[in-house]
């Protein structure tokens, strides 16, 4: 069986370590000057070269080459023994499975014996943050007075978990994520030597997917190479489950066109095809960030294929910078939402909603050439507050305000013809098909107020609605229990229907169901603003779960 690429390609000499020059230079200088420390801490993300560098240091201090500057030589007996994992004075301890005090005491006892083969006994303690407090204390004693022949190299991905007492005794080196360009370069070299047929775009994709971890990048290449076929961008996308680039681009197109339904489709399609929601959110953020760079004139900082660049340039030109920032923020928070498991698509839906429904930011940039006096084009969403009455609380004002659809799509008719008289006949313009949940959500307080004016009992029921959905043009109200739901009978439904018609100018059928889950969460209970994030989430079908 052939050796895994990442083992085969583990750097054996200092200059083969990629992207960690700051660490390598310091260590090389120490070797050259014969001034090697007794305790090192290598901190940084996984797969960036910590163990590799620790072994290089172990090799260098024990190398038999005459010139200090040539250590490690990678050819002498000791270097070869380290490479082959049979050098007796290199002791690698995985702290994840040796966390006990006894393990550390054992280490402390053995450390006093002189090296068997080389000059130094080198202890590499990997994942050192996993040690228990007692084990750390035992280790600390050793670090306080290490024998002259001992060198400790502690490695960790979570430096914040290391006690200050240990940190203060170590020379600390920070490993960085490796830039995409550097990863691509090494992957190219490996591909050439392994005689792989690879498209450069595929390597770029692999490099991006590995988020700075060289091991991940090499492993992905290995995985793709195992098919024995040419590695194209397409096969890479399929294998990596990231054939979503197109969905990201489509989503952004939908945003620019202000087509919420299309945008939601893109999200659902991506998730249905197995993309992880957070991963998808990250891709959207990364793409939007690239658009921002392009927009700011820094296109050269964007790593992308020529084809992609052209597309980005076109989309970036259409975006308003403030709107772009808003979108990045919204999707970034979706990417950082750790507990999305209970409603995988929700955070993405929210991010899209937020993006299309910003406080007062037009999404599409107004064409620069447009004279200031000219009215805004229809596609620019209604953002000027002038034409919309100031927000009033529903108790002060049962008078319906125009529907707030304008934030999603420009619907000038609705804005120009608000219905301000209770009881007046509904504007005929709209049909139920046009009403979105968003519209219902934004106008819910008004609908309740109108219902209250007609029949006070009804509003009590409407206040206990847990969530709503629209199904085939029917507004479906969800209630916590059957007891409450059963009260939403014919007359109450009719009053609600009339209230919706009066506020939105749309005649919709209303139905009631028992909402699933232990939805004990009425927005009002929580003081949740029905128009805000959580309110929208609830109305999109989200449930508030107990955090443990
Ligand atoms: N900076 C780098 N330059 C070249 N190759 C690297 C680099 N970092 C990692 N690699 C590749 O990834 C493999 C794993 O690296 P290494 O074990 O050193 O990572 P690590 O930082 O110790 O990760 P972990 O935190 O998961 O232990 C190496 O065998 C090598 O192939
Ligand atoms: Mg390691
Ligand atoms: Zn050597």
Quote the ligand 1 centre to 45 CA distance (angstroms): 10
Measured distance CA(353)–CA(263) in Å, rounded: 9
In a domain, 439, yes or no: yes
- Of 3, 21, 42, 47, the residue with max ligand 1 atoms within 8 A of its CB, to mutate for a pocket test, comes to 47
- Tell whether 375 is covered by a domain: no
In whole angstroms, what is the distance from residue 394 CA to residue 470 CA?
Answer: 23
* One domain, residues 145 and 273: no
Q: In angstroms, what is the span from residue 49 Cα to ligand 1's centroid?
A: 3
Do 84 and 206 sit in the same domain of this protein? no
Q: What does each of the 548 residues of the chain score in pLDDT, given as a tens digit? A: 578 898 899 999 999 999 999 999 999 999 999 999 999 999 998 899 999 999 999 999 999 999 999 999 999 999 999 999 999 999 999 887 776 777 777 887 888 889 989 999 999 999 999 888 888 888 888 899 889 999 999 999 989 999 999 999 999 999 999 999 999 999 999 999 999 999 999 999 899 888 888 998 998 899 889 888 899 988 887 777 554 467 888 999 999 999 999 999 999 888 876 667 877 888 899 889 989 999 888 887 776 666 778 888 999 999 888 889 999 999 998 887 755 456 768 889 989 998 887 655 455 554 443 333 333 333 333 333 333 333 333 333 333 333 333 333 323 333 333 333 333 333 333 445 567 777 888 788 888 888 888 887 787 788 778 778 887 778 888 887 777 787 887 888 888 888 888 888 888 888 888 776 433 333 333 444 444 444 444 445 454 444 44
Which domain does 218 fall in, by range? 180-240
264: domain CATH number is 1.20.272.10
* Nearest-angstrom CA–CA distance, 479 and 515: 5
Q: Does residue 164 sit in the same domain as residue 186?
A: no
| Shared domain check, 254 and 216 | no
Please give the distance of CA 536 from its chain centroid, rounded to a whole number: 21
**Alpha-carbon distance values, 355 to 13, 64, 295 (Å):** 49, 63, 18
Q: Which of 356, 376, 407 is the last residue of a domain?
A: 356
- Please identify, among 356, 373, 395, the residue that sits at the C-terminal boundary of a domain: 356
Beta bridge partners of 517: none
404 lies in some domain: no
Residue with tokens 């049979």: 86
Closest by CA position to 72, among listed 86, 88, 89, 54: 54
- Give buried/exposed letters for 89-120 (b at 16+ CB in 10 A, else e): bbbbbebeebbebebbbebeeebeeebeebbb
> Which residues have a Cβ under 8 Å from the Cβ of 208 and sit 6 or more positions away?
180, 286, 303
In a domain, 548, yes or no: no
The CB of 173 under 6 Å from ligand 1? The reply is: no
Structure tokens at 206: 């692999």
How many domains, the chain?
4
| 197 and 291 inside one domain | no
Calculate how far, in angstroms, residue 13's C-alpha sits from the geometric centre of ligand 3: 10
Given 123, 139, 174, the domain boundary residue is: 174
Residue nearest atom 23 of ligand 1, based on CA coordinates = 47
Do residues 215 and 185 lie in contact, with contact meaning Cβ atoms separated by under 8 Å? no
Distance between Cα 438 and ligand 2 center (Å):
49
- State if residue 23 touches ligand 1 by the CB under 6 angstroms criterion: no
DSSP 319-350: B-HHHHHHHHHHHHHHHH-TT-TTSTTHHHHH
CATH classification at residue 229: 1.10.8.60
Q: Are 437 and 405 within 8 A, CB to CB?
A: no
How many Å apart are CA 251 and CA 545, to the nearest integer?
29
Residue 318 lies in a domain: yes
Same domain assignment for residues 318 and 187: no
Q: Evaluate whether 465 touches 289 at the Cβ level (below 8 Å).
A: no
Alpha carbon separation from 526 to 347, 530, 538 (Å, rounded): 20, 10, 12
- Residue bearing the CA closest to ligand 1, atom 24: 46
Same domain? 250 vs 235: no
Same domain for 455 and 527, yes or no, is yes
**Using a 6 Å cutoff on CB, does residue 156 contact ligand 1?**
no
What DSSP string describes 268-293? Answer: HHHHHTT--HHHHHHHHHHHHHHHHH
CA dihedral (163, 167, 170, 173) in degrees, to 10, reads 120
Is there a domain that residue 545 lies in?
no
Q: For the whole prediction, is pTM greater than 0.85? A: no
Residue 53 lies in a domain: yes
Sign of CA dihedral 38, 42, 47, 48: negative
CATH number assigned to the domain comprising residue 159: 3.40.50.300
Residue 418 lies in a domain: no
- Quick one: which of 406, 409, 414 has its CA closest to 263? 409
């Amino acid at each position: 069986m052939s050796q895994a690429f990442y083992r085969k390609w583990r750097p054996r000499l200092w200059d083969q370590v990629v992207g960690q020059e700051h660490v390598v230079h310091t260590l090389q200088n120490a070797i050259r000057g014969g001034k090697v420390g007794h305790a090192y801490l290598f901190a940084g993300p996984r797969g960036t070269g910590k163990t590799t560098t620790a072994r290089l240091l172990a090799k260098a201090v024990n190398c038999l080459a005459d010139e200090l500057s040539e250590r490690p030589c990678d050819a002498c007996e000791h270097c070869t023994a380290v490479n082959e994992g049979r050098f007796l004075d290199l002791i690698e301890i995985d702290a994840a499975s040796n966390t006990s005090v006894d393990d550390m005491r054992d280490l402390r006892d053995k450390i006093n014996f002189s090296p068997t083969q080389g000059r130094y006994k080198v202890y590499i303690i990997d994942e050192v943050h996993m040690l228990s407090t007692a084990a750390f204390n035992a280790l600390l004693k050793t670090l306080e007075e290490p024998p002259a022949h001992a060198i400790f190299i502690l490695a960790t991905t979570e430096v914040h978990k290391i006690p200050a007492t240990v940190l203060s005794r170590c020379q600390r080196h920070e490993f960085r994520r490796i830039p995409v360009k550097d990863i691509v370069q090494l992957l190219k070299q490996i591909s050439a030597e392994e005689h792989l047929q690879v498209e450069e775009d595929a390597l770029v994709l692999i490099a991006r997917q590995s988020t700075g971890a060289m091991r991940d990048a090499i492993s992905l290449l290995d995985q793709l190479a195992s098919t024995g076929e040419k590695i194209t961008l397409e096969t890479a996308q399929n294998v990596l489950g990231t054939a979503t680039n197109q969905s990201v681009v489509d989503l952004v197109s939908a945003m620019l066109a202000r087509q919420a339904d299309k945008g939601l489709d893109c999200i659902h399609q991506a998730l249905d095809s197995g993309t992880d929601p957070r991963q998808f959110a990250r891709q959207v953020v990364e793409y939007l960030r690239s658009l921002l760079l392009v927009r700011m004139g820094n296109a050269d900082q964007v790593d992308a294929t020529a084809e992609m660049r052209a597309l980005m340039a076109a989309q970036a030109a259409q975006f308003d910078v403030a709107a772009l920032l808003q979108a990045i923020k919204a999707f970034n928070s979706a990417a950082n939402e750790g507990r999305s498991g209970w409603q995988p698509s929700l955070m993405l839906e929210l991010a899209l909603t937020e993006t299309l429904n910003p406080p007062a930011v037009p999404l599409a940039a107004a064409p620069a050439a447009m004279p200031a006096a000219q009215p805004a084009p229809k596609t620019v969403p209604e953002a000027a507050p002038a034409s919309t009455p100031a927000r009033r609380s529903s108790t002060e004002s049962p008078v319906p305000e125009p529907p707030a659809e304008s934030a999603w799509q420009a619907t000038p008719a609705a804005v120009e013809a608000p219905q301000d008289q209770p009881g007046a006949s509904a504007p005929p313009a709209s049909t139920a098909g046009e009403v979105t949940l968003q519209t219902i959500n934004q106008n819910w307080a008004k609908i309740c107020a109108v219902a209250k004016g007609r029949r006070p009992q009804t509003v009590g029921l409407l206040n206990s609605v847990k969530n709503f959905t629209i199904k085939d043009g029917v507004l479906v109200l969800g209630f916590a229990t059957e007891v409450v739901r059963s009260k939403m009978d014919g007359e109450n439904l009719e009053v609600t229907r009339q209230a919706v018609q009066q506020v939105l100018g749309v005649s919709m059928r209303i139905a009631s169901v028992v909402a699933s889950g232990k939805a004990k969460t009425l927005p009002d209970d929580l003081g949740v603003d029905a128009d805000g994030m959580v309110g929208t989430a609830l109305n999109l079908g989200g449930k508030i779960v107990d955090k443990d």
